[in-house]
Amino acid sequence: MIKMQKPRQEVQEVLEEYASFHAGSVEGRKANYRQMVNDYYDLVTDFYEFGWGQSFHFAPRLKGESFRSSIARHQRYLAQVLELRPGMNVLDVGCGVGGPMREIARFSGAHVTGVNNHDYQIDRGRGQTEKAGLSHVVEFLKADFMNIPAPDKSYDAVFAIEATCHAPDKLALFSELNRTMKDGAHFAGYEWCMTNRFDADNQEHRAVKKCIEEGDALPDLGSMSDVLDACKSAGFEIIESRDMAETSDPETPWYLPLAGKFSISGFKHTRSGRIVTHRVVQFLEATRIAPKGSSAVAAFLNSAADALVKGGQTGIFTPMFYFHVRKP
């Protein structure tokens, strides 16, 4: 069951501080992105692990493929396009608790360093890495990914899985990654974006975008072309890009885990499962087993999940705009 890592008296305070960022301007969120993102993951990490596992991202699903299998395949695809192999030194940008980099290190044999600025996630990740017997090929680096404490030309390859959407300035981030990469190194990732179907003059579209930003600690959701423009301006050559959401089997779209039908293994992901979880958390909070504010966290995560489903159903949002670039 969800336990919330923050002391009882702090959860409500952190929730209020986080909410204040989204009551302000985009510029304010960008200026305070480190605190906003840390507050967010203080609140949601245990919820994510309970409902999603150790890989905090979506994946396109093939016909007949399970959710877990799609997650692993999605991660391994990056290892394949980057041609990762033993002896390579690789950077995972925004590694969370390390689920994806453990899978990629296990699959490829490469040494992966995950950069993360959140103490609790790093502690959780190190414990899981040791338990998996992967400490020799997986390590955590506590740092802001906008300013990575690594010498120039340190890494043979870089990947990012639904993490650079937290950056306040993609050009600055991609320029920093370029600095740390060896000449000829490749960078590939999946990015949260508004698609070409998004209409900024459509009130419903704007509401979906805002709810996703509020529920997922995003300063401002950009477009797919914004990502490519930032890559080019940072000095990268574009090798390929596409919306991987379009590769899902129509019967199992990427957002299905948040909106799908009942199953024993996936119930926690579904809307019904989230409602049940929310009610349990409300009870635990009322009986003072869970800290004050826990049910409010569950509520805003449910709202964000509903917005993600709507964004996926309308096609105005994707969590998996794939890009593969090269440093000359």
The dihedral region occupied by 101, where left means phi > 0, alpha psi between -120 and 50, and beta the remainder, is: alpha
The sign of the dihedral angle between the CA atoms of 34, 232, 183, 160 is positive
CB 320 within 8 Å of CB 243: yes
Q: Which letter does DSSP use for residue 246 in this model?
A: G
Q: Which two tokens stand for residue 136?
A: 């020799």
Low-confidence ranges of the chain (pLDDT < 50): 1-4, 6, 8, 261-270, 272-293
Q: Which CATH architecture has domain 67-249?
A: 3-Layer(aba) Sandwich (3.40)
Q: In terms of DSSP H, where are the helices of the chain?
A: 8-23, 26-31, 33-52, 67-81, 99-108, 119-131, 170-180, 203-216, 224-233, 256-259, 271-286, 294-314
Strands 111-116, 138-142: parallel, antiparallel or unpaired by DSSP? parallel
Find residue 142's DSSP bridge partners. 116
Cα→Cα distances 230→154, 176, 224, 235, Å: 21, 12, 10, 9
Angle between helices 99-108 and 119-131 (to 10 degrees): 40
Number of Cβ atoms within 10 Å of the Cβ of 218: 23
Residue 315 has a CB neighbour count (10 Å cut-off) of 15
Query: What local confidence, expressed as pLDDT, does residue 5 receive?
Result: 52
Q: Which of 197, 321, 277, 303 is nearest to 4 (CA)?
A: 277
Q: Contact at 8 Å (CB) between 105 and 136?
A: no
At 30, the amino acid letter reads K
Which residue has 């209409």 as its token pair? 199
Structure tokens at 122: 């790093």
Give CA–CA dist 168/260, Å, rounded. Answer: 33
* Torsion angles phi and psi, residue 184, rounded to 5: 85, -5
pLDDT of residue 204: 97
Q: What is the pLDDT of residue 303?
A: 83
Please state, in angstroms and rounded to a whole number, the distance separating the CA atoms of residues 46 and 134: 22
Model pLDDT, residue 258: 86
Question: Can you tell me the distance from the alpha carbon of 270 to that of 268, in angstroms, rounded to the nearest whole number?
Answer: 6
From first CA to last CA, the distance across the chain in angstroms is 48
Q: What's the pLDDT score for residue 287?
A: 40
Instruction: Please name which of 240, 229, 257 lies closest in space to residue 171, comparing C-alpha atoms.
Output: 229
How much is the pLDDT for 279?
46
